Chain A
Amino acid sequence: MLRTHLRRRLMVIGTLPAVAGIVLLVAYPVVRTVYLSLTSWDGASAPKFIGTTNFRDITGQGGDLWATVLRTVRFSLVATIGVMVIGTLLAAALSAGIPGARFFRVVWFLPMVVPVSVSGVYWVNAFQPTTGLSNYLLGKVGLGTTHAWLADPHAALYVTSFVWVWISTGFAMIIMLGAMNGVPVEIYEAAEMDGCSVLRRFFSITLPLVRPTLATVALLEIIFTFNGFTLIWAMTQGGPGTSTQILPVEVYRQAFINGNYGAASAQAVVGGVLLLLVSVVMTRFIRSSSGSGRARAGLIRGRANRSALAVGQGAK
């Protein structure tokens, strides 16, 4: 009895550092941000409680919160889809054992290792008219050398999305590669015996079986891109005008340039809630696809075994 009591006490004491860490580093900042969103604060004085005024201001006429959210969603979708498609294809190529797979695994992961701000500065120069690499290459194929990609409000968001894809694809590729390597070889062997083409095997075996990992990586990418401040700040600082001003950039502007910490906190709260909703939906999807993935794996494995058996009997 005493021993159980002591164990419980020890467990409580043992979890205290973790709880303290969560309270200090997660709960307190969240609660504080929510509180600040209800105040008027310039960063130096004591915050003054003003109720929901900040929320009314940022969502009402003159506040461009929804335009910013839409821009953020667009950036996030384009970048995430790009990362997922290219990352999965590269992982499939490496998993299939293309020549030089080890070399390519390292090379394709390298952009992930470079600091984001450095990548941003490199690509800003690469997209400059006449002097940039992108225009040089376009010029070589007769498409002109004077495109001012980042100065064009219609192109700038897609250019920054492209750079995000360049940076983050290696991450998705490595995770997907791990998942693909976990698919039992006998399934592919059986499918091959059944005469399935490479494409059919990819779409009917690989993709369904790695779907939970795919969904997890997608969720992570959505979160990363929603918070993709560093790249945008390094490349465009949200410009030209507001064409690349995603939510974290707008929060930074409000807080650290305009000195309006209350409105910045309100924007952060709205962004946080949206991201939370996306995460909940995605997590449910991951759970359901994880269950159906396991069932499908069992089904495919059963079919594979039957195929192998049939081949064995045929051989007899």
Chain B
Amino acid sequence: MTSESDCAVPGTAPATRTHSWGRRTVRRGLAATAVALALASVLAACGTKSSSSGGTVTLHVQTLTGPQAQDMQVMAQAYEASHPKVKIQIDALADVASKMPNVAVLNGSNPPDVGFVQYDGGAYAAELTNNKLTPLTDIWQSNNLAKHYGPSVTKQYTVNGSQYAVLWDTVYIAPMYYNVDAFAKAGITVTNHRMTLPQFYDAVSKLKANGYQGLGVGGNTSYHLGHLVDMLLQTAASPAQYDNLLTNWQSSVPDTVKYTDPAFVNTLQTMKDFQSNGVFQSGMLSQDYTQAEALFAAGKLGMFMGGTWTPSELNGSLKVPFKYDFILPPTLNPAQTAKFEGVATDAFVLPLKSKHPTEAKDFLKFVGSAQGQTAVAKGGLLPIFADLPASDLTTIGPVVSSILQDVKANGSAGLWDSLIPNTIGQPFGVPKYQALLSGQTSVQQVASEFQTELDKLRAG
């Protein structure tokens, strides 16, 4: 605002008046600033994530979008039913957002009460390294989680004798779901859910002859090609070699297998052969997981590579109109039996700055209980507890039940690119596989880049 005196020629207006006007304006400005700051503080306080009102505590719990969010809804309802004073607010994150970008959220001034991390996503390791998580060893002890999770998972999540995460579910990769009608039409028979490499190529050519495309993979998704490499590598390498590849990034473990050795080179070459022989759907590298899955659900693909979470999508929102079953990816060494690769990667953590640590711990205790794990199964995911009674698993459906039976009969293997560090795992590998499949690099070049990274890791 200006006044006439302000616009007047200097020296013509009474100085005292102008002076007092200036002071008043400054005072008014300061008062307005103070009010604005106070309002901002009030608004900021209203916007804080965790809140308590009328004795009811709202817990903010992170989860992934998609089937996981639906599953968490079931879990939240089950928990709220027995805890009327607690309301669960689900903060759903996209897969990418749940990884490294989540570090800033978990360490921010307004973190969720219960954080979601993936073991191989980088955020869990960063939080652990920097002591930003509350130990949950007491929950592990009171709920006897080591027994329920089994020794390998317990080892995976134990750091200096303490545990910092409660696990949600387990996943098995990478069943190739196939359209039973399409296979029947093409005259393809499947024995014991498995195929050799020649049988697989034969199946793809028969599918194509009958108007279907071959195998759907989300080449543009950050993990999907990695899962294919995982499964092929498992039978390209001997069990001992595969075990060494899982652990040889640690300098204390002798690296008896190199990435330039035949096991890894053959894996890459086979994937490249898949591409050259038209095994994948057209435009695979430009499509993500959901696009490839939608093509399968629309009956255009004979097969789609997924995981144990896929049937809840196929039967849920996609409502596939045909019957489907699974086969494992082809074995590169016929002497070996392909196994599912299991990973306990989805976990909940308690950030140090959680506003309601007591209530959050109680919720995590529920997640790590038989009741919580039953809720996981009810929501359509596979519980991490391997010892739940069969009656609690009826909701997972016949195909996933069949996968579980296969795991019981043949055992399972570790998921290579999720168990090794990020610098050599999925974030490093998938762009290399894309470059390989699009002709930008060679098998030898990719193998050598992996070995260089491994050497760097081992050198510390």
Contacts and interface: CB of A to CB of B under 8 A. Distances in A.
A128 interface: yes
Interface string B103-134: 11001000000000000001000110110100
A152 B438 CA distance: 6
Pick the most buried of B19, B107, B285: most chain A CB atoms within 10 A of its CB: B285
Nearest to B132: A44
Kindly name the residue among B100, B219, B432, B440 whose own CB sees the greatest number of chain A CB atoms within 10 A: B100
A10 B25 contact: yes
B286 A236 contact: yes
B436 to A, nearest CB: 8
Q: Is the interface of B mostly helix, strand, loop or mixed?
A: helix
B398 interface: no
A259 B283 contact: no
Interface in A40-75: 42-45, 62
Contact of B283 (A9, A42, A129): A129
B19 A13 contact: no
A242 interface: yes
A3 B283 contact: no
A240 interface: yes
A244 to B, nearest CB: 10
A163 to B, nearest CB: 13
Interface string B181-204: 000000000000000000000000
Given A256-B99, A258-B100, A241 B434 contact: yes
B144 interface: no
A238 interface: yes
A199 B133 CA distance: 70
A151 B427 contact: no
B441 interface: yes
A149 to B, nearest CB: 7
Contact of B285 (A10, A13, A44, A240): A240
Given A6-B19, A237-B220, A241-B438, A43 B282 contact: no
With a 10 A CB-CB cut-off, give which of A62, A148, A149 has the most chain B CB atoms: A148
A236 B452 CA distance: 27
Contact of B286 (A6, A127, A242): A127
Interface in A173-215: none
Interface stretch (B7-15, B159-167, B239-247): B7-15
A124 B220 CA distance: 11
Interface residues on A, range: 35 or more
B22 A10 contact: yes
A150 interface: yes
B440 A257 contact: no
Contact of A238 (B26, B284, B431, B441): B431
A241 B283 contact: no
Contacts of A149: 286
A26 interface: no
Contacts of B222: 237, 257
B22 A9 contact: yes
Interface centre among A124, A125, A156 (most CB of B within 10 A): A124
A21 interface: no
Nearest to A148: B283
A265 B107 CA distance: 20
B237 interface: no
A243 interface: yes
B18 interface: yes
B284 A151 contact: yes
B99 A240 contact: no
A128 B100 contact: no
Given A44-B103, A127-B286, A148-B285, A13 B126 contact: no
Nearest to A125: B291
Interface in A5-20: 6, 9-10, 13
Given A13-B29, A151-B219, A153-B440, A258 B283 contact: no
Contacts of A255: 100
Chain A interface SS verdict (over half): loop
A242 B15 contact: no
A139 to B, nearest CB: 13
B39 interface: no
A253 B422 CA distance: 12
A118 to B, nearest CB: 16
A129 B219 CA distance: 14
A243 B418 CA distance: 25
A3 B96 CA distance: 59
Contacts of B422: 258-259
A129 B280 CA distance: 13
Nearest to B127: A44
A239 B287 CA distance: 11
A242 B220 contact: no
B431 A242 contact: yes
A99 B230 CA distance: 61
B100 A256 contact: yes
B216 to A, nearest CB: 13
A236 B220 contact: yes
Nearest to A145: B282
B103 to A, nearest CB: 4
Contacts of B122: 257-259
Given A9-B22, A10-B25, A148-B286, A44 B220 contact: no
Contact of A240 (B19, B103, B438): B438
A45 B131 CA distance: 9
A259 B434 contact: no
Given A2-B15, A4-B10, A239-B220, A45 B129 contact: yes
Interface string A109-144: 000000000000000110111100000000000000
Nearest to A46: B130
A230 interface: no
Interface string B282-298: 11111100010000000
Contacts of A283: none
Nearest to B106: A44
A146 B282 contact: yes
B100 A257 contact: yes
Contact of A44 (B26, B107, B284, B437): B107
A241 B441 contact: yes
B316 interface: no
A238 B423 CA distance: 18
A296 B220 CA distance: 52
Contacts of A259: 100, 103, 122, 126, 422
Contacts of A236: 220, 286
A3 B104 contact: no
Given A43-B100, A128-B291, A257-B100, 13 more contacts: A2-B18, A3-B13, A3-B15, A42-B103, A42-B130, A44-B132, A45-B126, A128-B286, A148-B282, A151-B438, A156-B286, A241-B431, A258-B100
8 contacts: A6-B22, A43-B103, A43-B126, A44-B132, A45-B126, A237-B222, A241-B431, A257-B222
Question: Nearest 8 A-B pairs (CB), nearest first?
Answer: A241-B435, A150-B286, A148-B283, A151-B285, A240-B438, A129-B282, A240-B285, A44-B130
